[in-house]
Amino acid sequence: DALPIFFFGDKSIVNRSCASVTRVSIMANSTAPIETATCLNTWVEQPVSYLTRDLIVYAMGIGATDLRYTYEFHDDFSAFPTYPLILSFKGTEQEIVSFPSEAMRAGPKGPTLPGVKVMLDGERFVEKIRPIPEDGGEFTLKQRIIGVHARGSGASVETESLLVDNDGTIFYRMVSGGFYVGAKNFKDSGVSNSEKVPVPSRKPDAVWETYIPETQAQLYRLSGDYNPLHIDPEIAQSSGFKKPILHGLCSLGMSCRAVLETFAGNDAERFKAIKCRFASPVVPGDTLVVEMWQDGSRIVFISKVKATGKPVVNNAYVDLTTGSSL
């Protein structure tokens, strides 16, 4: 139910900008388990960059209205702390890009596993080591695959990313977990960043909600994630959805907003890290509800669709610098 990124087999993503179709065939079953350790720990580097305008468009894409994120001349203007997630989609481009983009294709190559039907964006972890400049910047995104593990009906393939400047100074560390539905007959390898985040049994310490406008996905995509699943009704329907769905990373950004606004005065400097798992998609027009529990500087949360109560983002927390309180 999580957010589809690539489709395999009889499903495909259409690249509207060059009228081509990308198809990936399902690999035939093999008798011997696939060795996955060979794809681990090979660093791949690519240039990435952004402008001040990109920070503002991203902030608006996750529904932010605070002038600290949307007005470049505000005294406390800064990048919303989850912005670096989008850099692996846009690379250095300022124009609309294809999907998958060249930047996405430049990332580390995952293992070819038997039985894969679809790849989903399963989990994300974002740690801010230091804030990125608010006046734009040029960086290098270093990425490597760190683990491949059996998970339920498939495989979790985890990728570590480091955002570094020309001097090698690390600004962000991120880990993504892609879920390969149907993967089988392979060997586990490497390490895992995945962990269970239990929700406290008491009532939430705070509840935050926001309406998702019908145009939210259309705005968010301008940051660099041009997957047509989020705008093209035909592709959404062929993928099993009644209408285009919201980007999972947009739901992540909105959930982070909920925590910062509620427990940190909406101050980007208070952000330390976020971890979450994608459970199901949000459809523009839904209302997102975020339930939060405070445990010192860690805020455990779960995001749901208000009308159905269905979890959207779970197994999740935001770590803040000390002093967080309602």
> What type of residue is 21?
V
Q: Phi then psi for 124, rounded to 5 degrees?
A: -140, 145
In whole angstroms, how large is the CA radius of gyration of the chain? 19
For residues 77 and 72, what is the distance between their CA atoms, to the nearest angstrom? 6
The two structure tokens encoding residue 185? 């007959």
Residue tagged 């035909």 (tokens): 234
Give burial (CB, 10 Å; 0-12/13-18/19+) of 75.
exposed
Query: What is the helix (H) or strand (E) element at residue 288, kind and residue range?
Result: strand 287-295
Residue tagged 């990109």 (tokens): 54
The two structure tokens encoding residue 64? 């932010």
For residues 49 and 47, what is the distance between their CA atoms, to the nearest angstrom? 7
DSSP-based three-state secondary structure for 290 = strand
Active site residues: 225, 230, 245, 248
